[in-house]
Chain A
Amino acid sequence: MFRHVVQWVVWKDLLTEFRSRETLSSMLFFALIVIFIFSFSFSMNQQAAQELIAGIIWVAFAFTGMIGLGKSFSAELQNDCLEYLQGSPAAKGAIYAGKVAANFMFMLIVEIILFPLFVIFFNLDVIEQISLLLLIFFLATFGLSAVGTLFSALTVQIRAREVMLPILLLPLVVPVMIAAVEATKGALNGDPLPMYQQWLELLAIFNVVFTVVSFWLFDFIIDA
């Protein structure tokens, strides 16, 4: 039962996205502009790029993620979909899991499309570290979407939701940002794994804690 609800929520989100392509295209376009703005704001030589690039990547990813997360529930406002979700007899945890999975997929897709652009524009050398980088992206994106989905649902029915989502979410995901930036920096520099292993552990702990906590708290958010 639970699994079916999750599948249906994911399927529904993917289908609407496939038909309109609103979220993905706006996320991608926004991220591209962020990359360009960054390259204009910092006159980067090769060495400065080494220092800054991890931060730039994650700022771009986090802001893009905000767009996707904000749309995740506000899209449900049309045609009173949100009320049907609230009133549905399905377990609220399943709806949460489905939404997290959908948001996670959108963000990961955008990241996988964007990352080669970073590699090209900033002359990064990533071939050897690609699997580790993917692991970092995977963990950090999951953390962002686990907390982000909860807050997307929380802000959808309040005034000034476009502003409140980043205001509430960004301070809470600071550990994810720090860990992701430090780990990415380590991986891009080709450092040995033990030097940044603790950041991966931190990401894992964050993911475990907030997936579980958000899963239970979601009941109180969507409760009509």
Chain B
Amino acid sequence: MTSFYLRWTGVLLVGMLFGGLLYAHYTQHLASLTPEQLLHQMPSGEVRLRGLVKSGSLQGELEQGKAVFELVGERVSVTVQYAGPPPENLRELKTLIVVGRWDPMSNTFYARDLALLPHYGFVTSAYVAGLVPLVIVVFSMARRVNALYEEIKRSTVYQPEATPYVDT
């Protein structure tokens, strides 16, 4: 049984390593700012900005990949000037993420790309809900089978004269 538990500790370690790797990967991509944070921090490099496309604010030629719209946060809104490939998912009243730079001079966010709301929570919970029960079931079955083999080995093969129950 010791080798059995050792093997499963190995599986657990690999799983944790993998989870850590994923977490590290996604924290880099997850970092998206709300309009409030953007105005507060005034970052100079490229950032990801998340907000709702304000109703009635979307203008421009989507087919050519040019658009201007307002991205609303909780309290403030930011004007976004989009220039990039024709967007698939740009429409009013939709929450999305724009990738680009903030220009404090013109009070405009120059976006070069759009991304959908990532919903990492759903992805994570689906994988946890799918994989964790499987692992638990495999573990408990493997342990049970090992225990049964031991038990079979211990209980004697049917031999009438050797049974302790026989009332002599």
* A contacts B: CB pair < 8 Å: no
Residues of B within 8 A of A (CB): none
